[in-house]
Structure 1
């Protein structure tokens, strides 16, 4: 279907203008007539003062690479992403140190900047291509439109506007300013023109985040069920969870699974401090949505619990040192005034959390386990780490609902179409802003560095500086991308649904 759609597109373009088709694998088309549309857009926004515009685009240009980018979740929580230049340099040095220390490639990749090339069908599932394509078209067109706007505002003529594509994967648009006029333009004009595209992508990314929040409140997000489970029909989405003191909206599949596991008492293993007080017999209400409206499903809390079976332990923790091993099912824990029969992973976490408050390093607790059908008791001396009792449990040490146990798995949950489009609008715009702002020639950041460096250092020294910076940063990008492939970090993209 991918190749057939490409052949159809190329065929249509060939009928309109055969010069725009290159060997039937690429499209390159430009037009002088489209410049009129850029001129009209510029005229409508000509009321913006140039100094204010320059200041705004410079700040926005610096954000993704040199300052920080805000990441706003659908629930309104804000996280700051460090400037990518620091991540790239720091990740490269950390990865090289890991490799020099004899660490495997996978571990070195985990310390890198996380650069993963997006290649449909290889690193990205085909079903994500439509959302990615829409995001690319919108992002690239507005990126180039703002280049043209800034050029015309500073009196630099625009010769043509065009588009290009190589099998969909490498696609974009471009605005072609008059080269001689651009060379003669002031440094201020060059900075404004070069920074405008990145600024547009930053604004689009933030706007997409804001739209995601509005869509979440309108019920356009949620966890879409790929199978019928818990009374929710196939294709319907869970929008809210209520019960045991929890009343939360659901934004994504992972958000749904996190909140369900918090209900089951597994919050501490997921890094979530929120606790709930569910007991056997309590009910949990799922609010689901379909094209025809919303409905509620009441589910017994026990449906979300998992058995206290140990998957793995930190070897320096109390449980492992005391004899507990992967595969053991913990039945009972006693010590420090706590005596608890354990039937679920959540009950085990609650008992150990209480012991953590009451015990001190060196105290001995008793743990009953079932191993290969036989009961065994271990007397465990508690050890300390970081100023508190360390049992040796970590993420995934006990079964998680939706990942290890339960009627539905993460692979059977999907994002809504709205959530997918918002996701790719954020990723594509942040990616374009981050890449283009890097001081690598001939990217926007490299050209901007060249304009400033040649004015301050002279043409020869400025070119030498730009060349050196370009080769160093380009090598870092290639190194990190190679680690991302060899270390199989692309599997994160492959798992997106």
Structure 2
């Protein structure tokens, strides 16, 4: 509720100041609409500063950047510098629609179909977006929209199309934007090349901003601006302080986000295999783990006994076609000892047992027997487990939720008690907003930038009537897909993923 109050107060303060200086720009204190011919001179000044860029080079550059999020692949740079990519949004939209429709027609639940859809989520504060994220979103939207429109104006002036006015609008921060209004008659008369440059420039600007934001994120992570902010006292870290590094038992890892912290303490606990990370940690009872933390401008280290990074070896869940279940072991059993394939080991934690599983997969084969000692209802039971294979590999029947995970099921701190830094939140929203604007605006849906670009090309190649028909068909088909994915995402609550940036 506090976030809502601050949201309303900040809006009233903004419109109050604007009302004093520009009364007619405030509409009933719920909206702002400011259009000015005087601001055009700043667009002209910006254009003059960058007039040295050859038009051919500029045209090719903006068209490539325009195609990047829609048809090619958007690069994704993680805070640790690892590079991956996101397929073109058009492929995601069409593929997600077909996949979700097939699942629904096959009788799948809405939530399951939503998970297989394109994942389009409208950003609505209080519904799909936590209120406390609004300040970061507002800054990201301001940067994205202003530069998007500025580059439209730049391209128009470079191709001799006059700009009539510049303006901004906002409805309670949520529906906000800026616009550059070119001379409509001159734009209609312009060449296809000029129209393509003008229409592609806004999307290209958003792609560049997204890439720059990711690079700044990498630099900030290197400079220690990321980390996991603790909302509660745990592991000797005070509330409000952030952990940026974990060291111990040969394990040295930087921490970039709360999810990163949770993943790495589970790897430290030997639970990596449950998360798809087959990394062995050589820790033993009595060893120390060092957490490097920041409290404002003060850096300090906390040494924690390794036992704080272990979880009980009590099984929570098993595949019924795995070796353990078929051998008589059941969820709720506590594994105490294992013997087999020349290895005998007392089990004191779930990490111990997973280390044995990894080792046995190297030295055992299907048909070998492993003796498993478990505690069930206070009594020790011994099971002779015959190892079975699945997909050519030994299969114990252990899955991601078979043992308690630190930060989720066990430990002094839960994932929901960890927060991102302000720097990380701002970078996240700069990336999400700019990529979102680029992907949506590039879609060939009229009157979006992509739709207008399609109209300019189609009408030149096919004539005005046939070109308009093509644009209408493409627009209705893709708009229907977009609406379907948005509706499915809302019903299936796919927007919950946005809460991870808290």
* Structure 2 match to 1:483: 488
Aligned partner of 1:452 among 443, 457, 470: 457
In structure 2, list runs of 5 or more residues that go unmatched.
Answer: none
Q: How many angstroms does 1:27 deviate by? A: 1.9
* 1:206 paired to 2:211: yes
Q: Cα deviation per residue 1:73-121 (whole Å; 9 max; x = unaligned)?
A: 1111001111111111111111111111111111111111111221111
* Structure 2 match to 1:75: 80
* Structure 1 match to 2:248: 243
Secondary structure of the equivalent of 1:454?
helix
* 1:102 paired to 2:107: yes
Secondary structure of the equivalent of 1:112?
coil
* Structure 2 match to 1:262: 267
* Structure 2 match to 1:215: 220
Q: How many angstroms does 1:301 deviate by? A: 1.0
CA distance in 2, matches of 1:203, 1:352: 46
Q: How many angstroms does 1:19 deviate by? A: 3.4
CA distance in 1, matches of 2:94, 2:400: 29
Aligned partner of 2:70 among 65, 74, 92: 65
* Structure 2 match to 1:49: 54
CA distance in 2, matches of 1:256, 1:469: 45
* 1:381 paired to 2:399: no
Q: How many angstroms does 1:226 deviate by? A: 1.2
Q: Cα deviation per residue 1:122-169 (whole Å; 9 max; x = unaligned)?
A: 111111111111111011100110010000000011111111112211
Q: Cα deviation per residue 1:432-479 (whole Å; 9 max; x = unaligned)?
A: 111111111111111111111111111111111111111111111111
* Structure 2 match to 1:149: 154
Secondary structure of the equivalent of 1:477?
helix
Say which is worse superposed, 224-233 or 407-416, in terms of deviation. Answer: 224-233
**Is this contact kept in 1: 2:242–2:293, CA < 8 A?**
yes
CA distance in 2, matches of 1:292, 1:84: 41
Q: Cα deviation per residue 1:194-219 (whole Å; 9 max; x = unaligned)?
A: 11111111111110111111111111
Aligned partner of 2:347 among 328, 342, 345: 342
Aligned partner of 2:498 among 477, 483, 493: 493
Superposed CA RMSD in Å reads 1.5
Q: How many angstroms does 1:398 deviate by? A: 1.2
Give TM-score scaled by structure 2 length: 0.96
* Structure 2 match to 1:140: 145
Q: How many angstroms does 1:310 deviate by? A: 1.7
CA distance in 2, matches of 1:181, 1:338: 82
Secondary structure of the equivalent of 1:91?
helix
**Is this contact kept in 1: 2:290–2:302, CA < 8 A?**
yes
CA distance in 2, matches of 1:428, 1:273: 35
Distance 1:322 1:457, change over 3 A: farther
CA distance in 2, matches of 1:48, 1:223: 43
* Structure 1 match to 2:132: 127
Secondary structure of the equivalent of 1:269?
helix
CA distance in 2, matches of 1:383, 1:95: 35
Distance 1:496 1:327, change over 3 A: farther
Distance 1:489 1:371, change over 3 A: farther
Q: How does 1:122-201 map to 2 (within 5 A)?
A: 122-201=127-206
* 1:357 paired to 2:362: yes
Secondary structure of the equivalent of 1:80?
strand
* Structure 1 match to 2:336: 331
Q: Cα deviation per residue 1:309-338 (whole Å; 9 max; x = unaligned)?
A: 222223332223333333222222222222
CA distance in 1, matches of 2:418, 2:280: 24
CA distance in 1, matches of 2:462, 2:323: 62
In structure 1, list runs of 5 or more residues that go unmatched.
Answer: none
Q: How many angstroms does 1:43 deviate by? A: 0.2
Give TM-score scaled by structure 1 length: 0.97
CA distance in 2, matches of 1:237, 1:350: 30
**Is this contact kept in 1: 2:245–2:254, CA < 8 A?**
yes
**Is this contact kept in 1: 2:316–2:402, CA < 8 A?**
yes
* 1:468 paired to 2:473: yes
Q: How does 1:282-361 map to 2 (within 5 A)?
A: 282-361=287-366
* Structure 2 match to 1:32: 37
* 1:113 paired to 2:132: no
**Is this contact kept in 1: 2:270–2:279, CA < 8 A?**
no
Q: How many angstroms does 1:64 deviate by? A: 0.5
* 1:273 paired to 2:278: yes
CA distance in 1, matches of 2:328, 2:185: 77
Distance 1:326 1:482, change over 3 A: farther
CA distance in 1, matches of 2:87, 2:32: 36
CA distance in 2, matches of 1:356, 1:33: 73
Q: Cα deviation per residue 1:216-259 (whole Å; 9 max; x = unaligned)?
A: 11111111111222122221111111111111211111111111
